[in-house]
Chain A
Amino acid sequence: MINIAFFIIAALTLGSALAAATNPKLMHAALSFAIAFVGVSTLFFWLGAEFVGLVQIFVYIGAVAVLIVFTILLTRREGEQLRGFNWSGVVVALAVFAGLVWSILKSPSMSILPPEVSPLTVKRIGEVLMSDYVWPLMGVGVLLTVALLGALILAMEDKRE
């Protein structure tokens, strides 16, 4: 049963990712990409990482996918046009995939059973974020604030003229 669920999720994710890479219509490709995000978050849910799955939906569909479709909408003034398929990208992707597979197969931890992990609850994530990872959290906060201020300055009206 568990394997069936995994194969359905994997087929959905890979299929929509493939559609995102090959679809000639840019907007359809972007929307397929959003479906791939849903697939990845389902995978997190299936693995029991509820929080990560929810954040995946929140950030990648609520923000990143909307950002992508808006970028397409606001930058392309001409109608839909066909893209050529870029074969050099396939070579790069295959090389990256081969590298990942090679390093996974070479790693010695494959033969050791993973230690039993307690289920990851929201409470535990909060505690860890506020104790061990408080400085990275602060750093990310400052970075995001700087990005927000930068966006505001870009969008601000110039009063001097």
Chain B
Amino acid sequence: MSTGFVDQIFVRLKVWIMHFLPPGHDLIASFVSALLNISGVLIVFLTLFAAMSVLERKILGRMQNRYGPNRVGPFGLLQPVADGIKMLIKEDIVPARADKVVHFLAPIIIAAVAMLTLGIIPYGRNMTPLSIDGGILFFFAIGSTTELAVFMAGWGSNNKFSMLGAMRAIAQMVSYELPLIITTLPVVMIVGSLSPDQIVAAQSKYWFVFTPWGLAAFLLFFTSGLVESNRTPFDVPEGESEIVAGHMTEYSGFKYATFFLAEYFGMFAISGLAVTLFLGGWHAPLSILRFVPSYIWFFGKLSILLFVFVWARGTLPRTRVDQVMNFAWKFMLPMAFTCVVSAAVWHYAGRGFFAWIWSLVIIAGVYMTLSILLDTKKKFAPRVYRFAE
């Protein structure tokens, strides 16, 4: 019984706070309930953002054989405080020819969108801030608004680097939104619902990542997620050596920090959705481990995915624009469709051992065919410079 109490402690806390309200006012009750959910999500993820910003630099330092931040506080753990103060007291520069209103609104919209997408993810048993029927659809519908915000940032700055960065960002976000959405389709098909709560409930026996289509879809989804959050192997929109900082070039001080926050929140949201769709949400991997509270499992899985984000940033070089786009349309999209077909075969073959084999055969066959077709047969040779010599 005590384990159940720890598991539901935040839910009980909310019920306890709600019972102080005067009875009979449904409007006030729903307003306070929404406010409590929102503040819970914001407190947790702002803390995670602060922790992530220092941990990322620590891990990157470790990978690059250096210390990373270690001056502020014990082990450099108070670095986010110093960063926050620095960002707040920096001068806010707005270019003279910029479109003031659009320039001001872009970071606000981009951060608001990133926070909204966090709302539909089930963080634990009975712990979904916004439980709606079409949760997955909500995530992608709200997420698609980011493109307009990025465009506003690029256009409002009235700067060529900003505009080029925004164009690159939008091009790759639109291209990778397709595989991202199509790889969620097999999960939605198998569960028969667009609600994240029901998707998690359907994974109580086994996680979808342990089926062939689930594993393939998870890898494709995670790669698309890397692109959607403009993180390092795919950060061409802000490639420093080419276009300064992309659409964020003309932002300084707290507005820049807001973009930074939105990038991290987007990363949390996409990792959280990956956990929900493929890694069993808040379920424990084994039934003996059920005594550990559900939210600890969720945030454990989330932190592993976040570590992979940092790991990719520390080890992979930046891809070229044409490579990113070709990869999306020639490889990711056909593979995403294959996952849908494979999941359907798995379902109709009875979800057993043979279904597993058939599903694997389809995925492997398409993968082999694609790799033969897309092989450019280029041999490695000394690099020839066309313009630089």
Give chain A's interface residues, CB within 8 Å of chain B.
1, 27-28, 31, 34, 50-51, 54-55, 57-58, 61-63, 65-66, 69-70, 73, 121-123
Contacts and interface: CB of A to CB of B under 8 A. Distances in A.
A51 B144 contact: no
Interface in B145-179: 145, 147-148, 151-152, 155, 163, 170, 174
B155 A51 contact: no
Given A51-B134, A54-B134, A54-B138, A27 B145 contact: no
25 contacts: A1-B27, A28-B101, A28-B102, A31-B102, A31-B152, A50-B132, A51-B137, A54-B134, A54-B138, A55-B137, A55-B141, A57-B145, A58-B144, A62-B145, A62-B147, A62-B148, A66-B170, A69-B148, A69-B151, A69-B155, A70-B151, A70-B170, A121-B133, A122-B193, A122-B194
Given A50-B134, A73-B155, A122-B194, A66 B141 contact: no
**Among B102, B137, B192, which residue has the most Cβ atoms of chain A within 10 A?**
B137
Contacts of A61: 144-145, 148
A42 to B, nearest CB: 13
Given A51-B134, A73-B163, 15 more contacts: A28-B99, A28-B101, A51-B137, A57-B141, A58-B137, A61-B144, A61-B148, A62-B144, A63-B144, A65-B148, A66-B148, A66-B174, A69-B148, A122-B134, A122-B193
A56 to B, nearest CB: 8
Interface in B191-233: 192-194
Interface string B100-130: 0110000000000000000000000000000
B336 to A, nearest CB: 16
Contacts, number: 61
Contacts of B140: 58
Interface of B: 27, 99, 101-102, 132-134, 137-138, 140-142, 144-145, 147-148, 151-152, 155, 163, 170, 174, 192-194
Given A66-B147, A69-B151, A50 B141 contact: no
A129 B69 CA distance: 56
Contacts of B101: 28
Contacts of A27: 99, 102, 155
A31 B102 CA distance: 9
Nearest to A119: B133
Closest 10 CB pairs of A and B: A62-B144, A58-B141, A57-B141, A54-B141, A54-B137, A122-B134, A122-B194, A61-B145, A66-B147, A122-B133
Contacts of B193: 122-123
A63 to B, nearest CB: 8
A27 B99 CA distance: 10
Contacts of A1: 27
A65 B148 CA distance: 7
Interface centre among B101, B142, B148 (most CB of A within 10 A): B148
A122 B137 contact: yes
A34 B148 contact: yes
Nearest to A152: B329
A123 B133 CA distance: 9
Contacts of A50: 132-134
A69 B132 CA distance: 31
Nearest to A121: B133
A55 B138 CA distance: 9
Contacts of B144: 57-58, 61-63
Contacts of A51: 133-134, 137
Contacts of A55: 137, 141
A57 B155 contact: no
Contacts of B174: 66
